[in-house]
Structure 1
Amino acid sequence: MGPSIAAGAFGAMTARLAAANNPSLFAMSYDRAAARVTDLILVPSHFFTPQIIRARKPLGPHARRAGWQGCTILIGQVPASGRISLIRAGAPAPKAQVRAAWAATRFLRDEGATARGWLLAVMGAVEAATDAGGRPDFTLAEVYAQEARLAALYPGNHNVRPKIRQQLQVLRDRGWLAFGDKRGTYRRV
C-alpha cells in the first residue's frame, strides 16, 4: 500500500471530518491475477484529522465536472498504531490481535480534533524512535529529535518540547506507553 490514497470530493471529506460520526476507513490491496486480497487495513475514524487530507487541484474548465476538487488521504502520515492490519500478505490477522490494536487507541475518540492532532503527531514521533531503535524502549531525547518535524506541523506553537512532554504524559495516562527503568525513558505498551 502506498503513502496516499485517492479519495472523493474535498468539501465532502472535510465536512465528514467535522461531523461527530465520521466513518472508519478500510483500505485494500489485491492480486488481480490470483483474485485474492493481499492486504486489508482498518484506519479507525479517530485517526482522521485535517492534516492527513490534502486537496487536489480542481478539474480544468473543459472537464465534464469543471471546478470539482478531489482530495488525497495521506495514509503514510497516520501512525502505525492507526493502521490496523486485518489481512497481511494474504493471511488474516488473529481476531484477538485486531481487537487489542483497536482497544489500545480507543481513547482518542474522546479527544478534540486539535488535541488529537498533537497526540497523533507525538505517537508518530514515538513510533519513529522505537522503529529506528528496533526496540519498545525509547528516550525523551529520541522523541526530541523529531522536534523540527513537529514544529513544521504546528508553526504557531513555539513551545514544542513542553508540548511533547505534555502529550507523552497524556499517552502514559491513557495506557499507550509507560515509564522506563531510568529517568527520561519510556516504553511502548
Structure 2
Amino acid sequence: MDLHFNKELIKGYTSNSQIARVLTEGWVKQNSYCPNCGENPLNDYENNRPVADFYCIKCQEEFELKSKGGKLGTTITDGAYDTMIQRITSDTNPNFFFLTYSKELKVDNFLIIPKQFFTPDIIIKRKPLSDTARRAGWTGCNIDISKVSELGKIFLVEKSKIIQPNVVQTAFSKTTFLRNKNADAKGWILDILSCIEKIPNKDFTLNEIYKFESDLKVKYPNNNFIKDKIRQQLQFLRDRGIIEFNGRGTYKKM
C-alpha cells in the first residue's frame, strides 16, 4: 500500500473538487482491498452512481468514499439529509470509507465504518439553504462519527500507519451479526455498547451500566424494564465475545 497519491491521474484537471475526487478515488482503486474478504483490488462503479463508489467482485460488499484534506475530526459533510436517511435505512445501504490526507497529498487516515453502524442518530440535519440561494430550502447533513461505537471505526491506515489486513478483516467480521437484527434490536445493542465505551476502565460492573438507566429511559420511554434489557444486551455481547463476564456483576471489555 502506497500512501502517496498518484499525481499523474490529475493531468488536465483544474477544478479543486475534481482534483480531490480523482486523487482519492484513484488511490482507493489502486491501493485498497475489501475489508470483508480481503479481495484486491476493489472495483469502481461508474461516476455519479447514487448508491456506492466501489464494490467487491468476490463478496459483493459495496462502499462509498468520503474524503477531506486535513484532520479527520468528528463530523463529515454529506449530501441531502432526506436522501441519506433513506439510504441508511434501506436494505442496500453501503459501507462507508473515510479518507483524510495531508497537504503533501499523502493519506493520513483511511477507515471504514460498516453499514450496520449507520443509524439516523448519527446523521445531523443542517439548516436549509436560504430563500435567496440557488437551491433554496435544500437541506444537507453531516455524519457525526463521534457517535459511532469504537467497534465500528476500523482503520486500514491510522495516522499514516498501515494496519495489517488480517487485523482489519477480523475487526470487520466481529460485528456483522448486527446486520441480521431489526432496527429496535440493533439500536439496543449499539446503545449498550455506547454506555460501555463511556466507562473509562477496561473492567466495569453491572452497577456502572445501571447508571445509564435514566438516559436509556429517555430514548425508550415505553420500556418499563430498562435494567432487564441492559442485562439481556450484556449477555448477548458476552456470547459474541465483545465483553467477558467475570462473575458477581463484573465484566471486562474485550
TM-score for the superposition, normalised by structure 1: 0.89
Q: Which runs of 5+ in 1 are unaligned?
A: none
Question: Does residue 74 in structure 1 map to residue 144 in structure 2?
Answer: yes
Determine the C-alpha separation between the residues in 1 that align with 2:225 and 2:75: 30
Which gives a bigger RCO, structure 1 or 2 (Cα 8 Å, sep 6+)?
1
2:90 counterpart letter in structure 1? A
Question: Does residue 163 in structure 1 map to residue 234 in structure 2?
Answer: no
Determine the C-alpha separation between the residues in 1 that align with 2:218 and 2:97: 29
Structure 1 or 2: larger helix share? Answer: 1
Closer, same or farther in 2 for the Cα pair 1:155/1:40, shift >3 Å? farther
Tell me what 1:14 maps to. Answer: 85
Deviation at 1:148, TM superposition (A): 3.3
Determine helix, strand or coil for the equivalent of 2:233: helix
Within the candidate set 102, 112, 122, 2:172 is matched to 102
Rg larger in structure:
2
Q: Which runs of 5+ in 2 are unaligned?
A: 1-71
Q: Structure 2 matches for 1:11-50, cutoff 5 A? A: 11-32=82-103, 34-50=104-120
Closer, same or farther in 2 for the Cα pair 1:156/1:60, shift >3 Å? farther
2:217 counterpart letter in structure 1? A
Determine the C-alpha separation between the residues in 2 that align with 1:72 and 1:93: 27
Q: Is the 8 A contact 1:118 1:167 kept in 2?
A: yes
Over aligned residues, Cα RMSD in angstroms? 1.5
Deviation at 1:10, TM superposition (A): 0.9
Determine the C-alpha separation between the residues in 2 that align with 1:157 and 1:53: 25
Determine the C-alpha separation between the residues in 2 that align with 1:144 and 1:3: 28
Deviation at 1:159, TM superposition (A): 3.0
Closer, same or farther in 2 for the Cα pair 1:41/1:149, shift >3 Å? farther
Tell me what 1:185 maps to. Answer: 250
Determine the C-alpha separation between the residues in 2 that align with 1:97 and 1:85: 9
